[in-house]
Structure 1
């Protein structure tokens, strides 16, 4: 009996990247909704002065685009991990968690009022959670395990021998 090589899963790139694009859209919308909630509901001047209104200013667009780019980078990372590393979802989880932690903690170090710092941190945290869960979910659906070949009919399967064949 010949030793079998480990079977690498195949990645359906079309499914992965379509889902990554959808995750990018959701991440951008999470950023916009977070700013609207902070500014419009809680009247916290996050990402712009109060006079900029509920949507903020160009900084809101920058945050939304950055969130979308982050989702696409996460998609590229999981694609690379899926085709090259053992246990890609473990590594992906660690990377996304650590990047989200940095993005969440950095605004707390700014020299500004407490409320805008906290609101920015919460927005970054929710964006990171959205990217991590959506991209990993899409990636798990894009992995296809190749079918194992069956031995030809009449050939002995694992653990079986032909009559008279030494075991």
Structure 2
């Protein structure tokens, strides 16, 4: 008898060649599934949203202190643009958590795809300030803040996704 892959190729005198000349049933390996602890994943996503918003706030404070970028109409913490930056950063972290959840339950190597998605969106966010007007110092400051927010979201949500998921053997259906 010859074994080819997972299948037997019985010869004329093989015990499986009698009767109808059939092969033994080949059992399929159980499929591997990803189990996701959604509560743990989303708790990490909410924490990442808080961190992303705080990075936006601290980034504005540092840029204003270092480069003396302080419009007269703003408070010590900035103006409406600072609030907008913090809210968008928090929403981006929550959207990244949703993307991670979707990828965990639907794709092979979900964290690889997640890394690419977050990386490309971070690059886009870094480029956006250079498409507008304003001084080079302000645009560079905004780009650096966007970069740090993107890196934080990518790392924190990726770690939460890895911590909230595990591979299990599923049932044959």
TM-score (norm 1): 0.82
CA distance in 1 between counterparts of 2:61 and 2:51 reads 15
- Map of 2:108 onto structure 1: 86
Matched, 1:18 2:43: yes
The question of 1:132 aligning with 2:154 is answered yes
What stretches of structure 1 of length at least 5 have no aligned partner?
150-167
Pairing 1:8–2:33 present: yes
In the alignment, what sits opposite 1:39? 64
Change in Cα spacing, 1:50 to 1:128, as seen in structure 2 (3 Å) is farther
Q: Report if aligned partners of 1:44, 1:115 keep a CA contact under 8 Å in 2.
A: no
RMSD between superposed Cα atoms in Å: 1.7
Deviation at 1:17, TM superposition (A): 0.3
C-alpha separation between the residues in 2 aligned to 1:41 and 1:75? 33
Q: Which runs of 5+ in 2 are unaligned?
A: 1-25
1:112-156 Cα deviation digits (max 9, x unpaired)? 11000000000000000000000000100001223689xxxxxxx
Which of residues 117, 120, 126 is equivalent to 1:104?
A: 126
1: CA distance, partners of 2:156 / 2:72: 33
Residues matched between the structures, number: 146
Normalising by the residue count of structure 2, what TM-score does the alignment of the two structures yield?
A: 0.79
What is the alpha-carbon distance in structure 2 between the residues aligned to residue 66 and residue 125 of structure 1? 14
Q: Distance in 2 between matches of 1:69 and 1:58?
A: 16
Distance apart, 1:22 and its partner CA = 0.3
The structure with the greater share of residues assigned to strand is 2
CA displacement, residues 27-75 of structure 1 (integer Å, 9 cap, x when unaligned): 0000000000001233135xxx354244210111111010000000000
Within 1, Cα distance between the matches of 2:37 and 2:166?
7
Contact 2:35 2:166 in 1 (8 A): yes
**SS of residue matched to 1:80:** helix
Greater gyration radius: 2
